[in-house]
Amino acid sequence: MNLFALKEQLREAGILISFTGSFSHSIIEELGTAVKKYLENAEIQKTAMMDVFSVYIEAAQNVRNYSERRCQAGRTDNDASIVVIARRDTHYRIYAGNVVEEDDKADLGARLDRLAALDKAGLKTAYKEQLRRERAPDEGAGLGLIEMARRASAPLEYGFTPLPDGRAYFSLCIEI
Amino acid sequence: MSLERLHQSATPSTPAVDFDPASGVLSLTGESYPENAFDYFRPLLTWVARFVDEGNTPIVAEIALSYLNTSSIKSVMDLLDLLESAHRRGRQATVRWSYADDNERALEMIEEFKEEVTLPFFIVPVSG
């Protein structure tokens, strides 16, 4: 493998941080600290810095929590996850990818489509409603995707790549 | 049995905690995005629920949380709800939430919490 070529590819794509593998909390925390340090030196606005950090945390923790639940259900291929932070012109983009079960695909797509149809005020209403909803045991707050949509400067982009076993690889892109 | 002071040092993903039953000051400082926010906050909420039930010491929540992930937001809402219901039952309860004045996102988050409650809630900018 030509590492110089790989490094050049990453640079051309504006990739600041890319992690692929199994996400542990300590990795999320370490990368988060690194992201923050990098952004503090990058002379960007504090709001943009907070948005990138917040979306990175929500995206990485979503991937981790979903893998964790799948692990408990006997699935073990959670090293297929990826989170990327890239810069394009004046925007930052956070990408997150992971395997999703066939049964979860439709629901996830529908939630993202509903969020994409909302403006900032509609997203705030959705956020407040979810904040006040009773949390089901063993589930998250259900606020992660709404939070990402609120921080984003454009609707969240997503796609599913079918896998041979019927599951799909979910890709999400959030532009700040 | 009376409540003991609850004290925890900060980590990168959890705040410094100092809940003092003698003074009634509940202090939370730092950032919060732990692995499992609900597990992390459960003992804190239990402590506050007991403190609200015992005695009549005025409660002052001195909060300086600058970033919360969404599950921490849900837990902090639960904490504010406990203080709100104490306030509605006649207990003196106040929130003072400070933030660095260049951190607009922190201010927006604090304002959205304030919208959810009616107890005295002061937002305190600190020059960064």
What pLDDT is recorded for position A85?
Answer: 94
pLDDT 10s digits, A116-128? 999 999 999 999 9
Q: Which residues of A fall within a CB distance of 8 Å from B15?
A: none
| pTM for this prediction | 0.93
Q: Is A135 on the interface with B (CB under 8 A)?
A: yes
- From chain A residues 41-80, the ones with a CB under 8 A of any chain B CB are 46-47, 50-51, 53-54, 57-58, 61
CB neighbours (10 Å) of residue A121?
A: 8
Q: What burial class does residue A5 get, using C-beta atoms within 10 Å of its C-beta: 0-12 exposed, 13-18 middle, 19+ buried?
A: exposed
Q: Is the ipTM of this complex over 0.90?
A: yes
Quick check: A52 and A176 in contact, CB under 8 A? yes
Residue A153's nearest CA partner among A51, A80, A22 is A51
Residue type, position B51, single letter: F
Of all residues in chain B, the one with the smallest CA distance to A57 is: B69
Domain of A62 in residue numbering reads as 3-175
What pLDDT is recorded for position A18?
Answer: 92
Chain A with chain B: Cβ pairs closer than 8 A: 57
Query: Which of these ranges, A4-8, A63-67, B99-103, has the smallest mean pLDDT?
Result: A63-67
Given a cut of 90, whether residue A14 has pLDDT beyond it is yes
- Best mutation site among A24, A29, A146, A176 for testing chain B: the one with the most B CBs within 10 Å? A29
Helix (H) or strand (E) holding B26: strand B25-32
What pLDDT is recorded for position A140?
Answer: 72
pLDDT 10s digits, B7-25? 999 999 999 999 999 999 9
What pLDDT is recorded for position B1?
Answer: 53
pLDDT 10s digits, B75-114? 999 999 999 999 999 999 999 999 999 999 999 999 999 9
Quick check: A23 and A63 in contact, CB under 8 A? yes
Give me the number of domains chain A comprises.
Answer: 1
What pLDDT is recorded for position B107?
Answer: 97
DSSP string, B45-68: HHHHHHHHHS----EEEEEEEEEE
Quick one: average pLDDT of A137-163?
90
Given a cut of 90, whether residue A79 has pLDDT beyond it is no
pLDDT 10s digits, A16-33? 999 998 888 999 999 999
List the CATH number of the domain containing A7. Answer: 3.30.565.10
Q: Per the CB < 8 Å rule, is A128 touching B112?
A: yes
* Domains of chain B, CATH where assigned: 6-126 (3.30.750)
Given a cut of 90, whether residue A73 has pLDDT beyond it is no
Of all residues in chain B, the one with the smallest CA distance to A125 is: B112
3-class DSSP state of B120: coil
What pLDDT is recorded for position A22?
Answer: 85
What pLDDT is recorded for position A89?
Answer: 86
